[in-house]
Amino acid sequence: MDFEKIKEQYPILDDISKEKEIFWINPGKMQCEKAIAKCELTMADIDDAERRLERFAPFIMEKFPETKDKNGLIESELVEIPSMQARLNEKYQSGLKGQLLLKKDSHLAIAGSVKARGGIYEVLKHTEELALEHGLLTEEDNYAKLAEPFCRAFFEQYTIQVGSTGNLGMSIGIMSAAVGYNVIVHMSADAKQWKKDLLRSHGVTVVEYESDYSEAVKHGRELSDQNPKSYFVDDENSRTLFLGYAVAAKRLISQLKEKNISVDAEHPMFVYIPCGVGGAPGGVTFGLKQVFGEYVHAFFVEPTQAPCMVVGMASGLQSEISVQDIGLTGLTHADGLAVGRPSGFVGGVMVPFLSGEFTVKDSQLYHYMRDLLETENIFLEPSACASFAGPSRLNTYEQGLAYIKENGLESKMENAVHIAWATGGSLVPEEIREEYKNTYLEEK
């Protein structure tokens, strides 16, 4: 393919290839009802995932007692962060009106990241399928039964494999080990040492690659395909992962209600989610659009060196183009977002739903991290801090203001709610946090 030609055709790709921070409005976005009608997945699929997670709640509680206070549901808090909002407005002239909230998936039980939604869900779904097929379980049983030794002995015959930059491996690895599977996590070069160590401490086999995420996935998939008793969690194509993430939206309904926050024609909701291969932000966005319709405006955020989703979507080539094809390295401090080629499945689904995308430099992630620590005393890992590029920059781009105007939202921004989706951080060890707090990258 002639990528120079493609760059000429889509000038934003030229800016992206020069590592510029960009804001891209998705021209493919449709009226929400039409988008929903067009989609291969539906609300019924999300409901099904939600019910499956409820069936597993007794098992989860048994294995992870820290989930008892939520009755075995793995769910995070939604919190106001007014001091951070004031900081953004003062320090970056963000001009952010309305209310800024943080969705703390960074503090989800078991895996400490958004991956506790999709990753854990997929392991459980596979477990249910095997258990039903082999007569260990009926859907009416109390699933705590799966924690009994005879079930564990059964699952020990099976293997689960996954490719990961770190956090997906942690969620799949920890839950698979809890069920009893052999687990092999194929980790790309970006994966942090402490994540590998933590997994090994759970008895997980970690295979390390010197290549990037896409390669780790490819090798993992090949190895898994050779073993009939091995199941591969395919982050690039999995509908199951995607639906696990989407359940977040249904749970958000009651959280907003508790805070007396309405989402309707007069009260728009803006959501900003860090994006790697696309599954997590795509799934969450899909769920939000099903639940809140056209009143939710979803934006992804990616690092300037690995903006695979916006490259795929802006060019229309989806997974047929990588960030390396336009001259970027794919290397970033945001390890959770270090993906060079997006999920074609997610990109395709997102075309009619997504509002747009921001990119952000690595150096800025550490500034946001310190801003949040200083103002709200909440720690997030660098990848998760990408979410703040949204609220901090929306009003600073001409295209951002144009988006607000074109959607008839100018007079409603005082009533808007902005949610920065914090995707990870609570498992980061203390010494690594110290290192991050003192990281100042050259501002290029």
Ligand X SMILES: *Cc1c(COP(=O)(O)O)cnc(C)c1O
Q: Which residues contribute to the site for ligand X (CB under 6 A)?
A: 113-115, 167-168, 274-281, 336-337, 339, 381, 383-384, 423-424
Q: How far is the CB of 336 from ligand X (least distance, A)?
A: 3
- Select 337 or 389, whichever has its Cβ closest to ligand X: 337
Nearer to ligand X, 268 or 276 (CB): 276
Smallest gap from Cβ 166 to ligand X, in A, equals 7
Residues 261, 45, 297: CA angle, nearest 5 degrees: 35
Instruction: Give the H or E element holding residue 78.
Output: strand 78-80
Report, in Å, the least distance between residue 402 CB and ligand X: 27
3-state secondary structure string across 3-46: HHHHHHHCHHHHHHHCCCCCEEECCCCCCHHHHHHHCCCCHHHH
State the nearest-atom distance from the C-beta of 363 to ligand X, in Å.
Answer: 18
Report how far apart the first and last C-alpha atoms of the chain are (Å, whole number). Answer: 30
Nearer to ligand X, 227 or 363 (CB): 363
Residue 247 structure tokens = 């359940």
In the bound state with ligand X, the residue whose beta carbon lies nearer, of 171 and 182, is 171
- We find the least distance from the C-beta atom of residue 292 to ligand X, in angstroms, to be 20
Beta-bridged to residue 231, according to DSSP, are 160
Provide, rounded to whole angstroms, the least separation between the CB of residue 257 and ligand X. 26
| Residue 23 or 242 with smaller CB distance to ligand X | 242
C-beta nearest to ligand X: residue? 276
Tell me whether residue 377 is exposed, middle or buried, using C-beta atoms within 10 angstroms of its C-beta: 0 to 12, 13 to 18, 19 or more.
exposed
CB of 169 to ligand X, least distance (A): 10
Query: Minimum Å distance from CB 19 to ligand X?
Result: 20
Measured distance CA(356)–CA(352) in Å, rounded: 11
Q: Which two tokens stand for residue 81?
A: 């962060």
C-alpha pair distances (Å), 116 with each of 69, 112, 272, 364, 396: 17, 7, 19, 26, 33
DSSP of 103-172, one letter per residue? EEGGG-TTTSBTHHHHHHHHHHHHHHHHHHHTTS--TTS-GGGGGSHHHHHHHTT-EEEEEESSHHHHHH
d(CA 1, CA 12): 18
- The nearer residue to ligand X, 108 or 151, going by C-beta atoms, is 108
Other beta carbons less than 10 A from residue 63's beta carbon: 19
Cβ-based nearer residue to ligand X, 352 or 424 = 424
Cβ-based nearer residue to ligand X, 274 or 400: 274
